[in-house]
Amino acid sequence: MYSYRKNRYHIGRFKKRDQEMGTVSEDSAVTKIVWQYSRQLPEETMAFLRGIATDCCKVKNYVYGKYAGIKNVNKLTPVYNILNEMRHCGLREQLDLPVVYYELAIADAVTNIKCNWGTVKNKVGDSITANENLSEDDRIYLRTVLKMNGVYAAILNCQAYEMPGNAAGLDLDVQRLNNLLRRLTRRYLTQPRTEGTDTFRISPNGYSYKDGAIRIVCRIPRRRIAIPLRDNRTFDRQIQVQIRQNDVALAVPVGARVRRHQEYVNTVFIHIGNKDMFTLTNTHIYGASLETLTGPETERLARKNRERHKMYTACVQSAEEGDVKKAASIEVNNLGKVKYDRQKERERVRTTTFINAEINRMILEEQPARIVITKPVTRNKTKIYARSTNRKLARSFNSYIRERLDYKCRVHSVELVEISSKNTGNICSVCGSEGTRSGREFLCGSCGLQTTIALNSAKNIEQKYLMKKDI
């Protein structure tokens, strides 16, 4: 039997071994997600789980509507301020939602609101930097205010506040700057909302294990619903329940071993692409066949979705004409989700496995102490792309690649540095002139450089990082 206690023992044993070898850090902590899957569940259980997820979604949207605005920005920290108010608002009783689900949904919503405010502050800060009408004193004041949550909240709500210490003695038009801060905040502040009704979280006091099943709290007091599992692992931490077609997947955060490699001393500069995953300045390429995995599957899904849309239209039309038998036949034989989701998931797992294997191979072969990449680039929505290109961009694994690279770097104690992507793709890495791009090739008309776009970008990343480092 595989249990959390046994797993923790083995992790501790390996950690002690690695510490003696100098390959793991005592004070480092990296979390990874372990997935656990249930067996096929009866419809009554699935209906209960969907109901819990739907109610948690309602709780989150209620919290967003009430606390995401500027009037409640001071209530976000600490979170128990909102929890105390939400305990007496009557929403939980109205939904008949157990406390273990209710309070975690609130905490998730508050976390998302805080992240949203962080995004707003970053955008406001970028606007302050780009505003040429602001003096250096103005920028000092505004950036200081953004770092002081209490002062920032007071300004947004037109309340009295104490002037920041480092702003004393500066030549400032405070009223003008505060008005600018309010305008920028309102420009970038959006209302969070979730439509996801297929996930919810549960704390350790909300579940237990018995007879190869996880038993979770239901709406009836002192009763639990059993969910049979495909393995015998047990955990004692918050888990996320992801509802699928006729079963569930449990996402469990566990600690990962952090390694320190004394022999890893190189600085590696990487261009991340959709065709070749990684292109390095030393011409090494990792994930060269990534496009052969993502491209055909994207086109297959496009063809499949077109066919399904035609059948869906025929189903709706038959139902409107009163031919219930034909509509039911089309739905049963052509619009099923089981085979569709199974094949889609199989291809997704195949691609993610390939990505992780290539990242591991790159770290093992290149032995980096530092990896330098560019920050993610926002897609140009004004540019017109072909439909096939739009489909590939929409299904790009770029964000997943970055997420896994960040995780692998933390596991192997590798520093991951992100720099601006400006002028890394269209500038010649030899002479600095603007070149032309055609397909995968880059051509400089000034010096005659002819190389791949990816390799040229990787070398520009290296030059840009070294120049920034020397300044």
| pLDDT over 80 at 178, yes or no | yes
Q: Are residues 408 and 272 in the same domain?
A: yes
pLDDT score of 342 = 82
Q: Are residues 271 and 193 in the same domain?
A: no
Question: pLDDT of 195-224, one tens digit each?
Answer: 888 999 999 999 999 999 999 999 998 899
CB atoms within 10 A of CB 70: 17
Q: Give the domain-ending residue among 150, 181, 197.
A: 197
Residue 154 located in a structural domain: yes
Q: Are residues 103 and 191 in the same domain?
A: yes
Q: Are residues 80 and 131 in the same domain?
A: yes
Residue 325 located in a structural domain: yes
Does the predicted TM-score (pTM) go above 0.95? Answer: no
CB atoms within 10 A of CB 135: 12
Q: Are residues 244 and 281 in the same domain?
A: no
Residue 261 located in a structural domain: no
- The tokens for 459 are 């070398």
pLDDT score of 14 = 36
Using DSSP's 3-state secondary structure scheme, residue 267 falls into strand
Question: pLDDT of 95-147, one tens digit each?
Answer: 999 999 999 999 999 999 999 999 999 999 999 999 999 998 889 889 988 98
Cis peptide before 296 (omega within 30 of 0): no
**Tally of domains in the chain:** 3
388 closest CA partner among 279, 274, 271, 312: 274
Q: Are residues 232 and 355 in the same domain?
A: no
DSSP string, 401-458: HHHHHHHHHHHTT-EEEEE--TTSSSB-TTT--B-EEETTEEE-TTT--EEEHHHHHH
217 closest CA partner among 49, 44, 47: 49
65 closest CA partner among 100, 128, 112, 121: 112
Q: Are residues 179 and 228 in the same domain?
A: no
Residue 467 located in a structural domain: no
Residue 205 located in a structural domain: yes
Give mean pLDDT, residues 400-405. 92
pLDDT score of 378 = 63
Q: Are residues 175 and 283 in the same domain?
A: no
pLDDT score of 51 = 95
| pLDDT over 60 at 384, yes or no | no
Give mean pLDDT, residues 369-378. 87
Token pair 């309010």 is found at 182
Q: In one letter, which amino acid is 266?
A: N
| pLDDT over 50 at 4, yes or no | no
CA distances from 318 to 184, 307, 312, 428 (A): 52, 17, 10, 60
Residue 408 located in a structural domain: yes
Using DSSP's 3-state secondary structure scheme, residue 374 falls into strand
pLDDT score of 373 = 93
Q: Are residues 113 and 173 in the same domain?
A: yes
pLDDT score of 377 = 73
Of 207 and 19, the structure prediction assigns the larger pLDDT to: 207
Q: What percent of the chain has pLDDT over 70?
A: 89
User: Which strands form 278-280's sheet, in the order they lie side by side?
Assistant: 285-286, 278-280, 266-272, 368-374, 415-419
Q: What percent of the chain has pLDDT over 90?
A: 49
Domain around 361:
266-419
Using DSSP's 3-state secondary structure scheme, residue 313 falls into helix
Q: Are residues 207 and 180 in the same domain?
A: no
Say which range, 25-34, 225-234, 428-437, has the weakest mean pLDDT. Answer: 25-34
Q: Are residues 146 and 274 in the same domain?
A: no
